[in-house]
Amino acid sequence: MYEGAVQELIDELGRLPGVGPKSAQRLAFHILEADPQDMKRLVEAITTVKDKVKFCTVCGNVTEQELCNICRDPRRDPSIICVVEESKDVLAVERTRSFRGRYHVLGGAINPIAGVGPEQLRIRELLTRLNDGAVQEVIIATDPNLEGEATATYLARMLKSIGIAVTRLASGLPVGGDLEYADEVTLGRAFEGRRNALT
């Protein structure tokens, strides 16, 4: 064990996700030897995020204000909501530049093993948004894995029962990929979802 402060830093770093004991030690020694100005900036960045950044009261996306920059933007179509698991998924969809509606961030996916049920997600908030009748379509864009699919199915059934049009992102071959390397589930979905070759 190291002397007090170094060991404490290693312990704190080791609590971060994906940082094992060896990485924590390496990071601690980096911090120890780094330029004090650089480390001051890191500390300030952490403190600022904790002090200033919160979650948009409407969609749950990260923001430094009451509403996130997408919910504040009057040019974004309020009649379509894209439901995603995390704020980082908002960014991924934004990068495509093909969606001009609003978002709803669930804050995760249904995962009974990790103790995450529908009530732990921001589903109640989504229903509140749908109350005023302005929303025409909800696009479910959860991750294409077990938890994401379970969440999508749950949401689709619930939203259908209250009469909202619900769509899901297409499954299929990734663009630029190689057919022979596609897994069988993806390839199967690509067949199911085949479309007219002339459109």
Residue 51 CB, shortest distance to its own copies, in Å, is: 9
Angle, CA 63 vertex, CA 60 and CA 69 arms, to 5°: 95
Residue 13 CB, shortest distance to its own copies, in Å, is: 7
Residue 28: both structure tokens together: 């601690």
Which among 80-88, 120-128, 168-176, 190-198 is the span making contact with its own copies, rule CB under 8 A?
80-88
Residue 109 CB, shortest distance to its own copies, in Å, is: 15
* From candidates 21, 49, 127, 145, binder to its own copies by CB under 8 A: 49
Q: Is 128 helix (H, G, I), strand (E, B) or coil?
A: helix
The continuous run of DSSP H or E covering 17 comes out as: none
42 binds its own copies (CB under 8 A): yes
- Picking from 113, 84, 118, 117, the residue whose alpha carbon sits closest to that of residue 101 is 84
Distance CA 82, CA 186 (A): 22
Cβ closest to its own copies, residue 63 vs residue 142? 63
Q: Tell whether the torsion through CA atoms of 28, 34, 37 and 41 is positive or negative.
A: negative
Rounding to the nearest 10 degrees, give the CA dihedral for residues 188, 170, 88, 132: -140
39 binds its own copies (CB under 8 A): yes
Residue 28 CB, shortest distance to its own copies, in Å, is: 7
Which position has the token pair 């923001």? Answer: 63
96 binds its own copies (CB under 8 A): no
Binding footprint of its own copies on the chain (CB under 8 A):
1-6, 8-9, 11-13, 15-18, 23, 25-32, 36, 38-43, 45-50, 52-53, 62-64, 68-69, 86-88, 91
